[in-house]
Structure formats: C-alpha cells, structure tokens
Amino acid sequence: MYDYEITVTDTKALLDEGKAKLIDVREMWEYQTAHIEGSVLIPMGEFAGRAHQELDPEERLLILCHHGARSLSVTNWLRQQGYETAQSVAGGIDAWSAIVNPAVPRY
C-alpha cells in the first residue's frame, strides 16, 4: 500500500521512468500560469464527473495542486473509489518549482 502523499523528487523519478500519470486538479487559469509538461488537467470541481471515464484504477496516479491540500482531498476521494495507488504530490506545484524545476513559475 502506498502512502497518501509522495514527494516531488519521487514524483519526478516516477514520471521520468514512465511509471505514473500526473493529474493536475487546479483551475484552468492556474494550469495556464504554471504546469508540468505531460500533466492532465482535471479541475477539482469536475473531478467526480470525469474520473471514472478518464482514469484507470490500475494506473499509478499522482495528484497535483498548488500546495497539496486540494490534491490530498482528491486522493482521499480516489482511494475511497478504489484507486488504491493514487497519491497526492506533497507541496504541490509550488514545491516542484522550488525543488525540482525552478523554470516552472511560482504564483
């Protein structure tokens, strides 16, 4: 069983290896301001209506927001829906910008 949260450095390693899908649950304007290449935008407000059509419960899903609160909420919901490998990216895109890739704008 995976922890509910994953670090940005572990996230980068999984993405580099092609072993996970990054789901961004922020709003469109936030995504347009700063996003991680290859991430899939599903805003939190649309998540319940789209998750079962667009996401595979067998796939390793890493959930991203600005600082980690929304993504943890979505991760909890996903786990209740049977997505056992879903994890929230701790610190969100802000931590990603600070630790992994300073070229991603902070806001």
CA–CA separation, 75 and 16 (whole Å): 21
**Nearest CA-CA partner of 101 in 38, 27, 42, 29:** 38
Q: Is the pTM of this model over 0.95?
A: yes
Which tens digit of pLDDT belongs to each residue from 5-52?
999 999 999 999 999 999 999 999 999 999 999 999 999 999 999 999
Residue ranges of domains in the chain, CATH in brackets: 11-57+66-83+90-100 (3.40.250.10)
Which tens digit of pLDDT belongs to each residue from 50-75?
999 999 999 999 999 999 999 999 99
